[in-house]
Each structure stands twice: as C-alpha cells, then as structure tokens.
Amino acid sequence: MRIFQSIRSFKNAVWGASLLSILVAGIGLLVIVFGEKYHLRLVYAAYVNLLVVLGLQVFMGNTNITNLSHSAFMGLGAYVAAICVTPVTIKKLSLPDAPWGLNTFELDAFSSAIISLTITGFLAFLTGLIIVRLSGIGATIVTIAILVIVHSVFMHRTDIFKGKQAFFGIPQVFDLYSIIIISIGVIFVARFFRESKWGIQLRASSDDDTSASAMGVNIFNLRLFAWTLGGLILAMAGICYAYFLGTISARPFYFSHVFLTLAMLILGGMRSITGAVLGTIMITFGLEWVRFMETGPVLIGIKFPEMLGLSGITLGAVIVLIMVLRNGGLVGNFEIEQMFLKGRNVPKV
C-alpha cells in the first residue's frame, strides 16, 4: 500500500519539513549560542507549545473541525509519564494515598514515555470514536466536554493527580537539544500526514458540507486516525513539559492554554504546517514583547503606563482579526517549499 499519491507530494513533504526543521532548529541553536539563560526556558516553553500546535493541526487542519480539548490530552501525557517516572521515595511523600499501587513503582524515562503515549493514545482513540461521528459545531462541543471532564478529574482525584497542588519531583530528562530533535520529528510526521493520500482525502472531505453520517466508513477511519495521531503528539508535548519542568499541576492544562495555542494555530493558518510553525513563532515573540510593555517600561526615555491584561487583549484581538479578515490564517494553504520550488505546484486541496 502506498502512502503517497505521487512522488511529488513525497518530495514536497520532505522539502517542506526540512526547511521548517532548519528554521525551527536554527532559532533554537541561535538561542543556545547567544541567548541568556532565561531565553532557553522561554524557548523550551515555545517548543512545547509548537508540539501542541502541531498536534492540534494534524486533526484540525485536515478535518476542519475545531478541537478545544488538546490541552487535556497534553495534560494526560504529562501526568501519566510523571506518575511512572517519579521516584518512589518522592511519590511516597507526595502521593501517600495513591490507589492501585501507583506510588510503589518507578520506571525509566523511556518506558514511562512509551506508557504515557500508549495510554493517552488509547484514550484519544476512545474519545475519537465519539468525535468522528459528529460534525462541525457538535464535535467542537464534545471537545469542550472532554476538556472539562479531564480537568475535573485532574482537579478532584488529588490522590493521583494532586489537583492544583504541585506534582513534584519529576526528574529532568530533557534539555533544549532533546526538544529540538523531537520537534523536528513531529514536523516531519505532521507534514507527511498532510501530504499522504489519507491527509489529502481528509482535506478533500472536510470542504464538503455533508454531514458526518452521510460519509463513507473510510472518512470515519481517517478522522479517527488523525484524531489519535494528534492525541499522541499532544501526549508527547505533555511528556516534554513534565520532563523539563519537574513539577506539574492541573492548572496549565485548561482554557487559557487552549486559547493560547489555538491562537497560534489560527494566526499562521491551520491548513498548513508552515502556518502552524509561523503562528507559534509570532505569538511567542509577540507576547514576550507585549508582556514587557504591560508592566509600564521606560523606553527611549518615555514612561509607558502599566497596562495589565494587554497580553490577553492581544490574544483575543489576534483571534478575532484572523477570523474576520483572513479566515485561513496568514498563509492559508501555503507551504514553505512553494517559495523555493516555483513552477512545481504542490497539490492543493
């Protein structure tokens, strides 16, 4: 069975993913060489968000169904890995009442990640069975339900997840280099999926307004696959989050993170991987600047007023303006290799 319809789409995928990888790795390396220490953390957080945005893109970009549950899957990935990898000595302290012997074992980082991916992927698959049967706004509503349910469980099974308190003591496994490599891998995966014949079929079917019930079984399965793949990438993002920070709680995996990453995706344009990467870069740097302006700095001798909430307003404005002015985001269907491979048109859907 062939994955790509033509050798051209394969080539485009390789080209595009490579160019984006160079861009993404380039920014990371520049920061490693030139940046202050705190830039490294900032950039690491940006990479985690990039993974989230890519995970989101795999489903949203190809099916055109808005997903608002992505932060929940990221949280699942983070928690499962954290529960597995955290040393028993710490878990005895932090999770004294954990059920099912969760505080009596510890695994190495790699096995923990695999278990986390398996469990989150399986949960994504289960929820996917519901999601793919709904269309448009109905599906989006169920994703909100998933977000609230998962958050609720994180918050109230404090014996396992610690809720709003810190789940601490997770060993620091990753550094900036690791996440750069993972990001490149995920960029390739997302881009290959987009250009594969399944991706193309999905995108073709998403333009159609036919209700999901009228669709062939094939589209169901494809959607389910995209949803699960997205879930796996989100789990990976969660693992990266936990493996660097060392401390997690239920708080970061809720609405504010949902909106932040969603704004990143739709700013660049959810239909393309280039858009996803671009949006993440722009919002990350833009917000950093806005946050600086928020606290009323002195610039060129001018004292600016303190403007708390400016970053929230900026995010909201980005979402509204993109929706109103340029529904497809800044780049629409454009992929980066089109800048270089003139004349050889990428198959458009």
Partner 1 sequence: MRYPMTQGLRKHISGINMTTIAIIKNYNKSNIREKIMKQFLKNLSKILFVSFIAFPAFGDTIKVGFPVPLTGEYAPYAEIQGAKCMAEIINKNGGVNGKKFELLVQDTGTDTQTAISLTEKFLEQGVIAIGTIPFSDTMIPVAQIAAGYGVTILQAQSTQVEMHTGIVDNFISNVSPDPFTAAAAAEYALSEGVKNVVLLTSDDGGSWSAKTPLWFGEAIENGGGKVLSKMNFSIPTSDWSPQVAEMKKLSTTPDAVYISSIMPDVGVLIRQMKAAGIDAWVFGSDGLDDPSLDSVADSDKSILDKVAFGTLAPSQPGSAMQAFQKECKAMGMPVDGMFPALGADVIMAIAYAVEKTGGTDPEAIRKALRDADSIPVRTVESVSFKKNKSHAERTVPVIGFKDGVRVLLSNTIPSFVPSWK
Partner 2 sequence: MDYIVQQTLNALSFGAEYALIALGLAIVFSIMNLVNFAHGEVIAIGGYTMMVMATLAFKNPIIIILGAVLAAIIMALFLERIAFRPVRYADATTGLLTAFGVSLILQNLFLLLVSPRPIAVTSMYFLDWPIRLGPIQISSLQIFETLATLIAILLLVLFLKKSLLGIAMRAASLDFEMVRLMGIRANRVIAAAFAISGLLAGIAAIFIIARRGAVDPTLGFNPVLKAFVACVVGGFGSLPGAVLGGFLLGALEVGMLVLLPQSYGGMKDAFVFAIIAIILVWRPEGILSPPKEKGDKI
Q: Given candidates 26, 87, 99, 136, which one binds partner 2 under the rule CB under 8 A?
A: 136
Nearer to partner 1, 8 or 39 (CB): 39
Report, in Å, the least distance between residue 311 CB and partner 2.
8
Phi first, then psi: what are they for 272, rounded to 5°? -130, 150
Q: Which is nearer to partner 1, 169 or 332 (CB)?
A: 169
Residue 36 binds to partner 1 (criterion: CB under 8 A): yes
CA 283, CA 176: separation in Å to the nearest integer?
20
Dist CA 217 CA 223 (whole Å) = 10
256 touches partner 1 by CB under 8 A: yes
Q: Which of 40, 148, 282, 290 binds partner 2 (CB under 8 A)?
A: 148
Q: Give CA–CA dist 317/311, Å, rounded.
A: 10
Q: Should residue 133 be labelled a site residue for partner 1 when binding is judged by CB under 8 A?
A: no
User: Does 138 contact partner 2 by CB under 8 A?
Assistant: yes
The answer to whether the beta carbons of residues 326 and 299 sit under 8 Å apart is: no
**Least distance to partner 2, CB of residue 305, Å:** 10
One-letter identity of residue 22:
I
148 binds, among partner 2, partner 1, none (CB under 5 to 8 A by kind): partner 2
CB of 64 to partner 2, least distance (A): 8
What would the two tokens of residue 38 be?
């705190």
Query: Distance between CA 142 and CA 55 in Å, rounded?
Result: 18
Distance of closest approach, residue 287 Cβ to partner 2, in angstroms: 13
- Smaller CB distance to partner 2: residue 302 or 324? 324
Distance, CA of 79 to CA of 328 (rounded, Å): 34
Which of the listed partners (partner 1, partner 2, none) does 99 bind, with a CB threshold of 5 to 8 Å by partner kind?
A: none
In the block, tokens 């996803």 appear at: 276
Stretch that binds partner 1, among 100-108, 119-127, 307-315, 331-339 (CB under 8 A): 307-315
Residue 62, CA distances (Å) to 74, 96, 111, 112, 286 in order: 20, 44, 31, 30, 27
